[in-house]
Amino acid sequence: MLIATGIYAMYSLIRYDQFRTGGYDLGIFDQAVRHYAHLKSPFSPIKGYQYNLLGDHFHPLLIVFAPFYWLWDDPRVLLVGQAVAVAACIPVLVRMCDRRMGPVLSRLIVLVVMVSWPLQGLIDFDFHEICLAMPLLCLAFDALDRRSSVAFVAWSILLIGVREDMGLVVTMLGIIWIVQPHRDHTPAIETRRRPAVGIAMILTGAISFMLVVGVLIPHFSGGGSYGYWDYPDLGTGPSAMIQSILTHPGGAFHLVVDNATKRQTIGWLTLPFLCLFLLSPRWIAATPLIIERFWSSRQLLWEPRFHYNAPIFLILFIAAVDALSSRPLRRWRTPLSWAMLAALAITIPVVHTANPLAEPFAQLPGQIIAHSSPSVQTSRQALALIPANTCVTADDRLVTHLTRSNRVTVPGTTGPEPTYILLDMSQSDTGGGLSEPHTALRTAIASGYHVIFDKDAILVLRGQHTRPDPARCGPTAP
Measure the CA–CA gap between 270 and 424, rounded to whole angstroms: 40
Q: What's the rounded mean pLDDT across residues 416-436?
A: 88
Position 183 pLDDT exceeds 70: no
**Size of the chain, expressed as the number of residues it contains:** 478
Which residues face 461 on adjacent strands?
Answer: 421, 451
CB 259 within 8 A of CB 295: no
Confidence grade of residue 91 (pLDDT, cut at 50, 70, 90): very high
DSSP assignment of 15-28 equals: HHHTT---IIIIIH
C-alpha distances (whole Å) from 163 to each of 60, 195, 217, 224 are: 8, 26, 11, 18
Q: Are strands 392-394 and 408-409 parallel, antiparallel or unpaired?
A: parallel
pLDDT of residue 349: 85
Residue 323: C-alpha distances to residues 11, 333, 474 (Å): 34, 9, 54
Domain locations in the chain as residue ranges: 2-362, 374-473
With cut-offs at 50, 70 and 90, classify the pLDDT of residue 144: very high
Give 185's pLDDT tier (boundaries 50, 70, 90).
very low
Instruction: For residue 38, name the pLDDT band (cuts at 50, 70, 90).
Output: very high
Query: What one-letter code names the amino acid at 254?
Result: H
Quote the CA–CA distance of 67 and 52 in Å, as a whole number: 20
Burial of 427 (C-beta count, 10 Å sphere; 0-12/13-18/19+) = middle
85, amino acid identity: A
- C-beta of residue 265 within 8 angstroms of C-beta of residue 302: yes
What is the tens place of the pLDDT at every residue in 205-220? 999 999 999 899 999 9
